[in-house]
Structure 1
Amino acid sequence: MDPVFLFIIFGAGAIGFYMAWSIGSNDVANSMATAVGAKAITFRQAVLITGVLNIVGAVFVGGHVTDTVRKGIVNTTGIDNHVLLLGFVASLLAAAIWVTLSTWKEMPISTTHSIIGALMGFGLIAGGTSTVIWSKVGSVVA
């Protein structure tokens, strides 16, 4: 296998883990802070409940989300496969950096809007305004 391709794949995996960490650092308080702060449940119970429900959500809804991100934001026909690969990896990295910086600066942001915005930017650069599927973007952002 081509070493450049392997580098991109492993790099994309590392960036994916970085994005997951960024999302966790940004969103974890949203799901647990109120219940733990009100002493309705303990921190340990909140982590357990959140972990179980995140896994259930990923199993039952994750496929729809990944299909939308993968095929629903950017019309990939006519874009070279190498450009697509690098564009998606760059979008993931851009969104992860944005989420990390926003979390560090304590700015409330949507991680979903961050990745959708990064993909829109890639689509605009790769193929212009006609490449972005605006109707799907509108339904996701709304």
Structure 2
Amino acid sequence: MGALLWWYRTRTAADKRRSISPVKRTLDKRKIAVGLLSTKATVYMYDELAGYLERDGERVQFQYDEQYVDRGLQPLSWSLPLQKEPYLSEHGLPAYFSGLCSEGWLRQVQTSRQGIHPDNLFTLLINNGLDLPGAVVIVPAN
């Protein structure tokens, strides 16, 4: 068992209540509220604006930023080579993005605390987009 997981499981109830400040709780609630309402997200790779995700019902579209493509920067994935045309997924997130979402017990914890349905991967991705594997960061679009 990893040290962090061991620490988390062995904390007392009082420790668990103290570990999240009221300010952080408020910020988390605001972020979650924005994520629940967002239909657009901005995707960054190594702090460079890489592209945009947009949800329209079940359909999700990803499009690389034009300057990102023109500069020939690293694609997000081999399954999403650089191109100016959008990638369209008719049923939920494209495979690369759904692979960034948490699974198992972590997904259960995140969805229950954030008040979202476990199958709503778009909102799950936006709400947790600052803590994704790799060099990708996803935030709600302004």
Scaled by the length of structure 2, what TM-score is found? 0.29
Higher RCO (CA-CA < 8 Å; seq separation 6+): 1
The structure with the greater share of residues assigned to helix is 1
The structure with the greater share of residues assigned to strand is 2
